[in-house]
A = this chain, B = another copy of it.
């Protein structure tokens, strides 16, 4: 059977308490030979402490949860990677969950994670569990929102400066002389604040550049309907000559469509993508992109979470905005 602290104590001829002190490096008053005896016992028995037992007593599992919309998105992947690296330094582990933008799944994951006593949660919220978010914040349970935030919730959030992202894109287009600029976003863009911000930023930037806002140039679509949406948009009497792709999946659909239809980029349609995709700079043409600093955002999220874990009463309503960066390539 598994060897426990009791076995070590017996083998070393000391008490469990002493072994425990040793394990926790509380050597203050420990006789050198006691140390050695215990060390030996541990090695000879091949003892490994049971962290579950420790967690029960200490009320910390040295584990955090991350609930993402979908691990298959580049952005999520990079954020998770950054969180993982950060946690590794502190000997924490991360449980990764995919909510698939489904509030029920999200709720289930939050409950399970809390039942498993994770020390904190980083979440890309669906927005569909407001009472739960509020409850956690009220209880001062450490939680950090990433990528999106929920209006009315007083939690900490790590966000892109979405207005600016849209502005950068619109400015770049107008600088190059494009005047019929469309934006295509993943579905539910309007229920999720940051997405709305991108659309607002887009509208404002348009006006700032003396261009009119054309509602039929603004589309929020499910991935599977995107090509149809594009088709309709491009069939307008005055079709757009430039388009902002709201995220990596959107870009993928747009490129897939232009390829199918033999539409030349940027001559027939200019493109700027929000989110950098790995192939952006080897594509023909290279894709001009608005890049989110995903690693920094992930690191900041982890960092913030640990501040909260270490001090539950940290003010809970900060929003950290990260600067998007325009990478000019040749699709516009």
Q: A residues engaging B (CB < 8 A)?
A: 48-53, 55-56, 61, 63, 71-72, 77-78, 80-81, 84-85, 88, 91, 93-98, 105, 111-117, 252, 255-256, 259, 277-279, 281-284
Copies in the complex: 2
Other A-B pairs beyond A93-B113, A256-B281, 5, CB < 8 Å? A48-B111, A49-B115, A77-B77, A277-B279, A283-B284
16 contacts between A and B (CB under 8 A): A50-B56, A50-B117, A51-B116, A52-B116, A63-B95, A63-B116, A71-B77, A71-B84, A72-B78, A81-B98, A85-B98, A93-B95, A93-B112, A252-B278, A259-B282, A283-B284
B84 touches A96 (CB 8 A): yes
Q: Are A52 and B61 within 8 A (Cβ)? A: yes
Nearest 5 Cβ contacts at the A-B interface:
A279-B279, A284-B284, A51-B115, A96-B96, A255-B282
Distance in angstroms between the alpha carbons of A40 and B111 in the assembled complex: 19
Q: Are A282 and B52 in contact (CB under 8 A)?
A: no
- The reply to whether A80 and B96 form a contact with Cβ atoms under 8 Å apart is yes
A56: which of B53, B97, B115, B256 is its contact (CB, 8 Å)? B53
CB-based nearest B residue for A93: B95
Bound-state CA distance A151–B5 (Å) is 35
Q: How far is the CB of A201 from chain B (nearest CB, A)?
A: 27
Kindly provide the distance from the CB of A55 to the nearest chain B CB, expressed in whole angstroms. Answer: 5
Question: Once bound together, how far apart are the Cα atoms of A211 and B137, in whole Å?
Answer: 67
Q: Which residues of B contact A256 (CB under 8 A)?
A: 281-282
- Give the distance in Å from the alpha carbon of A55 to the alpha carbon of B52 in the complex: 7
